Amino acid sequence: MKFNLLSKFRNQTVNHAGEKAFVLSPEMELYTAVVTWNLNDSFYEKDQERLVRLQKLIPACNPVFVGKLAVYARTKMYMRSVPLVLVTELAKLHSGDNLVARVTDGVIGRADEITELLACYELLNERKGTKKLNRLSKQLQKGLSTSFNRFDEYQFGKYNRDGAIKLRDALFLVHPKAKDELQQVLFNKIVNGDLQTPYTWETELSALGQLNFDSAEARAEAFRAKWEELIDSGKLGYMALLRNLRNIQEAGVSYAHFEKVCARLANADEVARAKQFPFRYLAAYRELINPVITKVPAQNLVNKLTTLMQGQNKGYTGELLDALEKAVQASAANIKGFGYETCVLLACDVSGSMQTPVSAKSKILLYDVGLMLAMLLQSRCKNVEVGMFGDTWKTIVVPRNNILGNVQEFYRREGEVGYSTNGYLVIQDLLQRREQMDKVFLFTDAQLWNSNNTADHIQNLWLRYKAEVSPNAKLYLFDLKGYGQAPLQILRNDVYLVAGWSDKVFEVLAALENGGSALDAINNIEL
């Protein structure tokens, strides 16, 4: 009997809030830590602490899994920094085959990631100066050599930046073999510093900024003309367009060019190719909204904006907002939601720990990401109830096909529920109402606790709910921070864990619905 009790509690721990939680397997913990990675301190964990945790977890996992996770993070979750960390750590531990070479080639998606990986390798191996980097892992060197053969002069020129490790340094360190004479000419240009400066929006605007103008009006006219030229050229990438909407608007481009911008933003094919995090659209949306009116109800936003912008050459803001909404709708088109027959509850954590930026330079907070993912899923479900929890739990009625406006509505009202992490109230409310739900989703950093000092805990309440109200109900935790514990026992009693910021997390959800696991998408990666 004592051994049974020990077995029952051996996977229990406490979370950062001091509440009972459950440990994850090394693979599951590594997965959640990786796909929620960023480069600024989080509410409960410093950057260095997470890095050390990753370094301890990697040896506990199968090397092939680590390699597949690195490629998955880069190619499916669109992450750039953490895949380089994974391949660097893998190169320290694994040898004897070409796994590291294949993973290295798999995580290099842009020319600048060659030098970024070398800088990461130098840092994590505590080496300084390019001479020390001559002791490069042979398999990492082989993978980088393959990567060198994939890029052309435009790509090398675009990312030939003046960092601590330059492309020229990387070429000498890696010694890639040119595949033909033209590529050898290209490698010679890298060595001699003769790469052609590419035509990009950064280089064009930078060159224009160096010129002297007779007047402020002449300068403004030059920048207006340059933005129109860039829009016409097709050289302005989708991400650049998304990030420069306010600059384009303030430059006063013609309505014809505004139409082109809006058409590109809303184009479903462009959206699919751009592979943007969903919250990037929210950031662009917020940039167009004057901070003074950030908390205006969603249904009044366009009217209010039109009134404020009149006379400021910003009367097209409503069209840009509509284009962004269409873009987000297009990004959600392939998400597999649920039909009329499936009752779905979406609960968003808006507690204090969720109010930290997703990265050092971002204005987007962690709870914005949770709200965004919840609204994307809501747009694909027919029979759905949504709400938010902090000190209390409240459901909020919002239209189904207004994703960005809905996020803004929740953002405006988040203070109504306070800032604790009483996620147990979501399940307690379902129990009290005897409400039958088929699917319950919690978008959270998974650091749930009970600030009311009662005996209620989400694990016990979920078991009661399953037994008394809805035996076939499933609970999905969308972990947005990856601290390494879960508030419920995962893979028991129909409780599942999904992690990450990208809309690709819904592919994991689809795999779970089909009887798979959250790690299947990673294990299915080909190296």
Q: Is the pLDDT of residue 109 over 80?
A: yes
Residue 40 pLDDT: 45
Higher pLDDT, 300 or 319: 319
Q: Is the pLDDT of residue 489 over 90?
A: no
Higher pLDDT, 307 or 66: 66
Residue 290 pLDDT: 57
Of the pLDDT bands very low, low, confident and very high (cuts 50, 70, 90), residue 303 is very low
366 φ, ψ to 5°?
-60, -40
Q: pLDDT tens digits for 233-271?
A: 988 999 999 999 999 998 999 999 999 999 999 999 999
Average pLDDT over every residue of 86-115: 95
Residue 309 pLDDT: 38
Q: Which residues pair with 200 in a beta bridge?
A: none
- Written as one letter, the residue type at 459 is Q
Nearest to 154 by CA among 195, 211, 204, 104: 195
Beta strands in 39-126 (DSSP E): none
Q: Is the pLDDT of residue 98 over 90?
A: yes
Number of neighbouring beta carbons within 10 Å of residue 233: 11
CB burial readout 236-246, b (16+ within 10 A) else e: bebeebbebbe
User: In this structure, are residues 514 and 500 in contact, taking their beta carbons and an 8 Å threshold?
Assistant: no
Q: pLDDT tens digits for 189-245?
A: 999 999 998 899 999 999 999 999 999 999 999 999 999 999 999 889 999 999 999
Average pLDDT over every residue of 270-284: 91
Of the pLDDT bands very low, low, confident and very high (cuts 50, 70, 90), residue 384 is very high
Lowest mean pLDDT among 241-245, 358-362, 436-440: 358-362
Instruction: Say how far residue 323 (Cα) sits from the centre of its chain.
Output: 21
Higher pLDDT, 49 or 372: 372
C-alpha distances out from residue 317 to 243, 299, 324, 363, 450, Å: 15, 15, 11, 20, 43
Q: pLDDT tens digits for 15-49?
A: 666 656 667 888 988 998 888 886 443 333 456 78
Average pLDDT over every residue of 350-378: 87
User: In this structure, are residues 458 and 424 in contact, taking their beta carbons and an 8 Å threshold?
Assistant: yes
The span from the CA of 525 to the CA of 522, in Å, is: 5
Residue 16 pLDDT: 60
Domains of the chain: 10-192 (no CATH), 201-206+214-332 (no CATH), 343-523 (3.40.50.410)
Of the pLDDT bands very low, low, confident and very high (cuts 50, 70, 90), residue 365 is confident
Instruction: Say how far residue 152 (Cα) sits from the centre of its chain.
Output: 28
Q: Is the pLDDT of residue 310 over 90?
A: no
Lowest mean pLDDT among 6-15, 273-282, 298-307, 319-328: 298-307
Residue 129 pLDDT: 53
Q: pLDDT tens digits for 113-167?
A: 999 999 899 888 877 655 566 678 899 999 999 999 999 999 999 998 888 889 9
Per-chain mean pLDDT for the chain: 86
Residue 435 pLDDT: 95
Spatial neighbors of 193 by CB under 8 A, at least 6 apart, are 168
Residue 254 pLDDT: 93
Helix, strand, or coil (residue 10): coil
Residue 19 pLDDT: 59
Q: Tokens for 160, please give them.
A: 């030939």
Of the pLDDT bands very low, low, confident and very high (cuts 50, 70, 90), residue 14 is low
Average pLDDT over every residue of 475-501: 81
- Percent of the chain whose pLDDT exceeds 90: 58
Average pLDDT over every residue of 381-394: 95
